[in-house]
Structure 1
Amino acid sequence: MPVRELLQRIGSDEITEWMAFYQMEPFGDMRADLRSGVIASTFANANRTKHTRPFTPEDFMPFIERPETIDEAHLNVARFKSMFAHRVKKHG
C-alpha cells in the first residue's frame, strides 16, 4: 500500500504502536527466514563432524549483508545437501 494511502487510513499514533510492537515481536520475511535458518542449522549441526565449524542460522540466510555470506551460505547449503545425497532416491 502506498504511504499516502496508509496515512489516510491510520494515524501516526497507530503507526508508532506498530513500530513498537515490531521491536518487541518482529514479524515478516526476515523472521520467517530466521526460523528456517534455526531449523536448518540445528539439523546440519546434528550431522556434522567434530572437526567442522558449527553452523549458525545466518549460514542458511544468504541475503544477510556480510562480505563472505553469499559464497559461504551457498557452500554450506551444498555441504548440507551432500551429507544426505546417499539417502536421496534417484528418479528416472
Structure 2
Amino acid sequence: MPVRELLARTGSDELTEWMAFYQLEPFGDMRADLRSGVIASTFANANRTKHAQVFTPEDFMPYLDRPQPQTSARVNVERFKAMFSHKVKNKVNKHG
C-alpha cells in the first residue's frame, strides 16, 4: 500500500508498535538474504579446503558495504571456485 494510505489507515501508536516489533524480529528482504547467506556459508565451509579462509553469511550478501575492498563478490566467486578446484582436479586425475 502507498505510504499516504498507510498513514491514513494506521495510527501513530500502531506504527510505533510495528517499528518496535521490527527491532525485535526483523522481517523483509534483508532478513531473508541473511538466512540465505547462512545456508550458503554453511555449504561453502563444509566443502572448503583445510586451509581456506572461513566464509561468513555476509560473504554471500555482496550489496553490503564492506570496509575491506578484497571482499567483493568477484573475490568471493574466486574463493568459491578455488574451494572446489581440488575436487575437480582429483576427479580428472583419477579418470583421465
- TM-score range relative to shorter protein: 0.7 to 0.9
**CA RMSD after TM alignment:** 2.4
1:41–1:55 contact (8 Å) kept in structure 2: yes
Q: In the alignment, what sits opposite 1:37?
A: 37
Normalized against structure 1, the TM-score is what? 0.78
Report the 3-state secondary structure (helix = DSSP H, G, I; strand = E; otherwise coil) of the residue aligned with 1:38: helix
Counterpart amino acid of 1:53?
Answer: Q
Higher helix proportion:
2
Q: In the alignment, what sits opposite 1:72?
A: 72
Residues 62 and 70 from structure 1, CA distance in 2 versus in 1: closer, same or farther, beyond 3 angstroms?
A: farther
Query: Identity of counterpart residues, as a percentage?
Result: 73
Count how many residue pairs are aligned between Structure 1 and Structure 2.
87
Looking at structure 2, the residues matched to 72 and 49 of structure 1 have their Cα atoms a distance apart, in angstroms, of 20
Residues 49 and 71 from structure 1, CA distance in 2 versus in 1: closer, same or farther, beyond 3 angstroms?
A: same
Q: In the alignment, what sits opposite 2:92?
A: none
1:60–1:77 contact (8 Å) kept in structure 2: no
Report the 3-state secondary structure (helix = DSSP H, G, I; strand = E; otherwise coil) of the residue aligned with 2:36: helix
Q: List gaps (5 residues or longer) in structure 2.
A: 89-96
Looking at structure 1, the residues matched to 75 and 69 of structure 2 have their Cα atoms a distance apart, in angstroms, of 10
Structure possessing the higher relative contact order (Cα contacts under 8 Å, 6 or more residues apart): 2
**Structure label with greater radius of gyration:** 2
